[in-house]
Amino acid sequence: MGNKRDEVSTSSLYTSMLQDVIGSHIGPISLLYSYKRSFHGFVVELTEQEAQKMAGMDGVVSVFPNQKKELHTTRSWDFLGLPIPKQVDGKTIESNIIIGVFDSGIWPESDSFNDKGFGPPPSKWKGKCQASTNFTCNNKIIGARYYRGNKLFEKEDIQSPRDSDGHGTHVASIAAGNLVNMASVQGLGLGTARGGFPSARIAVYKVCFGGCYDADILAAFDDAIADGVDIISVSLGGSAKSYFTDVVAIGAFHAMRNGILTSTSIGNGGPNLGTISNFSPWSLSVAASTIDRKFYTEVRLGNNKIYEGISINTFDLKNKTYPIIYGGDAPNKKANVDSSISRYCDDDTLDKKLVKGKIVLCDVETEGTGQLSAGAVGTVMQGRRPSSASFAFPLPAAYVSLEDGGNVYSYMNSTRSPTATILKTNERKDPYAPYVAEFSSRGPNPASHNILKPDLAAPGVEIVAAWSPISPISDVSSDKRAFSYNIISGTSMSCPHGSGAAAYIKSLHPTWSPAAIKSALMTTAVPMSPEESSGAEFAYGAGNINPHKSANPGLIYDIDALDYIAFLCGQGYSTKLLQAVTGDSSSCTKGTNGKVFDLNYPSFALSTSSSNSISHVFNRTVTNVGTSTSTYKAKVSAPPGLSIKVNPSVLSFTCLGQKLSFTLTIEGTIDRQIVSASLIWDDVTFQVRSPIVVYAF
């Protein structure tokens, strides 16, 4: 590969250079590729001697071999270090683990759900497939149901488990999709798509038709538990701040009682504290973190200045420049719109005569429908923050920072005929990953201040996964692009990473309780930095998920249904409220009145006043699942002002399954809103880490 820095970039120039090296018989057809956009260069076959001669030519920056690189993606599971599962004759080895996905349905024809290599459903499966003329199950998708209790369907709704939205298909493939080579969104994210546990079976519970109603969600929980699923994945949520008004918390409690862990998304209301949804202690609450791949889209102005924005832009303007106009200068006066409104480029606010055939600069990020309907060929939007995620739009688009947007605006005012073009999206490595996405909701837990939420973080930013080809990737109906994969972001994407990892653990430890699986995921998570993720533990909980390590955690913090009941009673709830969750005759008595601090949770949280002196004791019990004979020593990391002591500080196990208890005492004061610490039980082989957070909120 040659790389030339000169502004001129034509095939004739490259051909001339080659003729100087190889001979006059070389013509333009010899060029394998020629790069003409963001850098100048070309690809050609050369001998070692010819390459050395080329490297010595004036104007040539470098010559390097076209090395073969291994394809990556959907990158997230590789980034997390989870090995690609074994295959026989190119087929995934089936398992009997069943993941129930509550979402918008599934696209069964996707390669991600092909049942090649899968035998019949396991005998424990008691569910059914609501088949129809347009939907059938297979040995990968072994069950599918849809729910609409009120029978109110819109004209565009598909009354079957088929996914017309794309969201459910995306989520299901992240958790358990097959290995699919050469998956991409028109070349973006090119690689091998796979779920966290590709050998798992999938049971689909379509609870969302536009919205997702509580009654339908509870009905799905009811069916899924009876059907025999092992893990439930729920990438949806609401604004409930109590366990007793949250159907996901109620459903997850019943699932837990039946040995099923529910993995949930925590919402996209960040970065403010106190925005979390799905926070029950018996479910896994998953925040969204980044992976080491970043997509970016460049805007090139008529003065050849280039500004980097973000989007998922598959449109190709073929390097052609177009006039660029500011939305504030094109108000739709017929609709009584002035520039203070049109600068935001909302629907029907732009003058079509002024905008048609041009690129529009807008003051905020929009869906792009206002610009598209006005006839724009592209849009540049300003206001991007460094941690913003990329999305697809129905026209060529780039979302730039306020500073760069200001530079674009200044250029537009500096010339009579400003022009610009928007390039196709490209990708590069993000060296700062992982960190928590800005949009990811934050704790603390609104219902139990001393139970840390979220539990952990997992990839949820710009994730490539399967998609419904009838659903526009930009979510705009007039966008007619039909793709089988899409790149989207949200805690909806991080949740199935939790589900897939939990299924992986369940396959290795089929007798483990939901709490044991959750403990394994939390205590093996990779610690994250509050400097890079605002909100500290309220952003990422125990840290970033580490599926491979979680399969063998050493120790677990186990919890059963009676422990959770005692915990609820200890919070002061009445028997009536308790039964709203348990659905049975459970009651709160002195015998069941446990302390919130004593719930055997794998993390420690203490809410206090910054002016108060702290003195508190937590009681915990760990179960040995590592080496039969082992000795763990407590290693505590505590900031100035806090004293954290563990008693006993050494735990000696003589057999597997043995349980030993300890106390953790926190004393001192805090001088800021959130103070972080940690406890690690270390026997050299295993490091069992629990986050500790003391906060004033």
609: domain CATH number? 2.60.40.2310
Residues 149 and 269 in one domain: yes
Angle at Cα 247 formed by Cα 242 and Cα 252, nearest 5°? Answer: 95
Question: How is 304-329 classified by DSSP, letter by letter?
Answer: S-EEEEB-B-----TT--EEEEEGGG
Quick one: which of 107, 437, 426, 111 has its CA closest to 293? 426
| Adjacent-strand bridge partners of 193 | 180
336 domain-assigned:
yes
567 domain-assigned:
no
374 domain-assigned:
yes
Q: Is 167 tagged catalytic?
A: yes
Residues 34 and 81 in one domain: no
What pLDDT is attached to residue 50?
A: 79
Q: How many domains does the chain have?
A: 4
Residues 274 and 152 in one domain: yes
Catalytic residue, from 76, 160, 163, 167: name it.
167
Which amino acid is located at 248 in the chain? V
- The encoded tokens of residue 115 equal 């049942």
- Sign of the torsion formed by the C-alpha atoms of 527, 529, 533 and 534: positive
Residues 123 and 238 in one domain: yes
Among residues 373, 403, 429, which one ends one of the domains? 429
Catalytic residue, from 263, 484, 492, 690: name it.
492
168 domain-assigned:
yes
616 domain-assigned:
yes
What pLDDT is attached to residue 575?
A: 81
Give the CA distances from residue 694 to residues 73, 546, 603, 615, 677, in Å, rounded to whole numbers and listed in that order: 38, 25, 11, 11, 8
Catalytic residue, from 40, 78, 103, 351: name it.
103
Task: Look over the chain and give the mean of its residue pLDDT values, rounded to a whole number.
Answer: 88
What pLDDT is attached to residue 76?
A: 72
67 domain-assigned:
no
Phi, psi of 375 (to 5 degrees): 95, 10
165 domain-assigned:
yes
Residues 48 and 133 in one domain: no
Among residues 388, 407, 429, which one ends one of the domains? 429
Q: Is 613 tagged catalytic?
A: no
Burial readout 511-534 (b: 16 or more C-beta within 10 A, e: otherwise): ebbbbbbbbbbbbbbbebeeeebb
Q: Is 492 tagged catalytic?
A: yes
Tokens 């697809």 locate to 392
Residues 206 and 315 in one domain: no
Quick one: which of 492, 184, 158, 219 has its CA closest to 312? 184
Q: What is the CATH number of the domain that holds 522?
A: 3.40.50.200
Residues 89 and 105 in one domain: yes
Quick one: which of 326, 353, 354 has its CA closest to 339? 326
What pLDDT is attached to residue 19?
A: 76
Residues 410 and 460 in one domain: no
Residues 388 and 448 in one domain: no
CB 195 within 8 A of CB 86: no
Q: Which stretches of the chain drop beneath a pLDDT of 50?
A: 1-9, 33-40, 61-62, 64-73, 87-91
534 domain-assigned:
yes
Q: What is the CATH number of the domain that holds 381?
A: 3.50.30.30
* CA 435 – CA 543 distance, rounded (Å): 10
Residues 420 and 495 in one domain: no
Quick one: which of 226, 277, 256, 293 has its CA closest to 502? 256
Residues 310 and 407 in one domain: yes
> For residue 459, what are the domain limits?
76-291+436-550
Neighbours of 615 (CB within 10 A): 10
Residues 282 and 302 in one domain: no
What pLDDT is attached to residue 593?
A: 57
CB 584 within 8 A of CB 592: no
